[in-house]
Amino acid sequence: MNPLLVTVSTSHQVSHTTQTRRRWNRWCCPMHFIGGAFSPDRSPWLAAGDALTSPPPSFSDSTPKQRSGLCRADAALTGGLYETMDRDRALVFRNARVITMLGAEVLAAHDVIVRNARIEAVQPAGLALPADAVVLDASGRTLMPGLSDMHAHPMVAGWAQAFAGLVKDGGDGSQFVLPYELQLFELLACGITRTEVMAGCPDALWMRDGINAGSLVGPSMTVGSPLIDGAPIIHSPLMTYGVGDLEGGRRAGEQLADMGFDFAKPYSNLPAAGYEGLIEVCRRRGVRLMGHVPNAVGLEAAIRRGQQGIAHSAELFYNERGPERRDVARRERLVRMMAEHGVWLHGTAAVSHRVEVIGGRRPMEAPDWHHMSPLHQALFAPDSPLLAMYRNNTDKQYLYDDTYALSCQAIAAAHRTGVRVLTGTDYPNPTLVAGYSLHEELVRLTQHCGLTPHEALHNSTRLAAEYHGAGPADGTVSVGGRADLLLLDADPLQDIHATRRIHSVLAGRHLLREPALREGVARIKAAYAAMPAVVVHMPSAP
């Protein structure tokens, strides 16, 4: 087949540039364009969306059902990094300043005793300690619960395959994937002890189950379904259930429940009938919904039908072209509805900022660029043809207008009204980096979204544990709580940037001290350095 021509179902041929423009005009963000426009064969969903010759099938599923060869536990990758506490042996953080997350309580000069992955005591410094305890001197430092990134997209095999089409000699993309154990380490090394995967697959389930079983070390993890979308599907079929009608929505719900995903993720083009079928099955099988709001449904109807979570603050306005986009009364009405129905919200302020950056509205800003993988550095470079394609699309200019400011206003309004706002990044959207970008998100929440440092940290700790249905003491530094703890060299209540100044991290029974943090980061950099050179290879921008 001539690579410059694409055959469509109308039986005539159009130039690749014309076809690319047709495809590109649908994407709401560059990550979707990357994953969708150049992914493996997407028919009949592509033909249904572009040529509009026939309705799509009821249900289509090309997602993997078995885990990839990248799912292999290799202890050598993280060997010597984790100090694992023996069963029944105590670990003591001695003489710390403790942010308990029990209201505004902050304790000066306290010892925190941990045993068997649970907090056993929180007591004034100077009292008797267990005789055989491992003691970590926390004098002059701040101890708090571990943080959370509740909107994560780990770079798994399916993502890599979707990216591979944009890279010369990209193959299946697996050569650009950081080994999963190092990906989990990177999250922990950034203080993240709880996470939620927002577009799942068997590889993500393998990570979740390995962490729960103790064969892998990583954050507490929940995994959502593949994207549940309608024609034209926005993302790669490798990570999408295609739904065309009521019965297709039911089949998607049954499939994700049978495979053991923790929640369903509806997506933007899911038809109203498919959404209804999905809701019906998820309600019956006890599966929650957290995701986008389908355009055919709308936020108010989604709230009334029982969608428990909205994946972006920008969902409150993103698809509005007219005055509704900036309508304050409309926004206030929506956040009141969310609060009344107990709907959770992912803030994702940083990704809204990036929408303006890649749309040319703001200068490039990437505080964690040096931690990005070589693949993402190439794809998201300031002179990238991918970003040029995004900026040159006249049909999508409205999406960039004030997206960050409106997202911040939506988060502030939601928080003020009582909506529970979770911390999440949506990495690896352009220049957002696993682990590191959560610290940027916390800064944006406190500087531009109306949260105090304590509120932002509370939402990233205790509130996230509540969202996951964890124990009442989890996400706090209190007796009985899970021992997911973060020891910082400075006080984040005084300066939220201090969350980056990590001295030690405890995830259950696994301790990472500062020298091990440095060594692990060095191993990640070495793994990136060993990857093949990335040469971006894609069609000309329309």
Residue 502: which CATH number?
Answer: 2.30.40.10
Q: SS3 letters for 59-86?
A: EEECCCCCCCCCCCCCHHHCCCCCEECC
Specify the amino acid at residue 498. A
Do 461 and 488 lie in one domain? The reply is: no
The total of structural domains in the chain comes to: 2
Mean pLDDT within 169-195: 96
Residues 12, 126: one domain?
no
CB 367 within 8 A of CB 357: no
Q: What is the C-alpha to C-alpha distance for residues 515 and 520, in angstroms, rounded to an integer?
A: 9
pLDDT of residue 505: 98
* Banded pLDDT at 541 (limits 50, 70, 90): very low
Same domain, 406 and 446: yes
For the ranges 6-10, 68-72, 121-125, 143-147, the lowest mean pLDDT is seen at 6-10
Both 373 and 426 in one domain: the answer is yes
pLDDT value at 438 more than 70: yes
pLDDT tens sequence across 242-271: 999 999 999 999 999 999 999 999 999 999
On whether residue 521 sits in a domain, the answer given is yes
Amino acid in position 392: N
Q: Is 533 among the domain residues? A: no
Per the CB < 8 A criterion, the answer to whether 78 and 98 are in contact is: no
Q: What per-residue confidence (pLDDT) applies to 538?
A: 67
The verdict on 264 and 317 lying in the same domain is yes
Does the pLDDT of residue 380 top 80, yes or no?
Answer: yes
Which CATH number belongs to the domain containing residue 240 in this structure? 3.20.20.140
Classify residue 295: in a domain, yes or no: yes
pLDDT band, residue 150 (cuts 50/70/90):
very high
Mean pLDDT, rounded, for 159-177: 89
Residue 36 pLDDT greater than 70, yes or no: no
Q: Based on the fold, state whether residues 253 and 335 are members of the same structural domain.
A: yes
Instruction: Tell me which residue range forms the domain holding 47.
Output: 5-72+148-153+182-468
pLDDT value at position 44? Answer: 54
- pLDDT value for 382: 84
Q: What is the pLDDT of residues 495-521, one digit of tens each?
A: 999 999 999 999 999 999 999 999 999
Residue 236 has pLDDT above 50, yes or no: yes
Same-domain check for residues 227 and 329: yes
Per-residue model confidence as pLDDT tens digits over 65-91: 999 999 998 889 999 999 999 999 999
| Statement: residue 49 has pLDDT above 60 | no
Question: Torsion angle, CA of 133/139/144/149, rounded to 10 degrees?
Answer: -100
Residue 15 in domain: yes
Average the pLDDT over 93-103 and give the result.
97
Average pLDDT, the chain: 89
Contact, 138 vs 505, CB < 8 A? no
Cis bond upstream, residue 363 (ω within 30): no
Instruction: Tell me if 477 is assigned to some domain.
Output: no
Instruction: Please give the C-alpha separations between residue 95 and each of 91, 101, 111, in angstroms, as whole numbers.
Output: 13, 18, 5
The Cα–Cα gap between 436 and 443 comes to 12
Query: How sure is the predictor about 5, in pLDDT bands with cuts at 50, 70 and 90?
Result: very low
Same domain, 101 and 202: no
The first and second tokens of residue 533, run together, are 């050179």
In this structure, the answer to whether residues 374 and 511 fall within a common structural domain is no
Please provide residue 232's backbone torsions phi and psi, each rounded to the nearest 5 degrees. -80, 130
Claim: this prediction has a pTM higher than 0.85: yes
Residue 26 has pLDDT above 50, yes or no: no
* Band (9; pLDDT cuts 50, 70, 90): very low
pLDDT greater than 80 at residue 106: yes
> What burial letters (b/e) apply to 394-426, b meaning 16+ CB within 10 Å?
eebebbbebbbebbbbbbbbbbebebbbbbbbb
Give per-residue pLDDT as tens, 293-303: 999 999 999 99
15-19, 143-147, 320-324, 367-371, range with the lowest pLDDT: 15-19
Same domain for 406 and 353: yes
Is the pLDDT at 25 greater than 70? The verdict is no
Report pLDDT for 3: 24
* Residue 22 tokens, joined: 């047709």
Collapsing DSSP to helix, strand or coil, 456 comes out as helix
The whole-number average pLDDT for the span 7-25 is: 33
According to the model, what pLDDT value does residue 539 have? 54
Q: 213 and 252, same structural domain? A: yes
The yes-or-no verdict on residue 34 having pLDDT over 90 is no
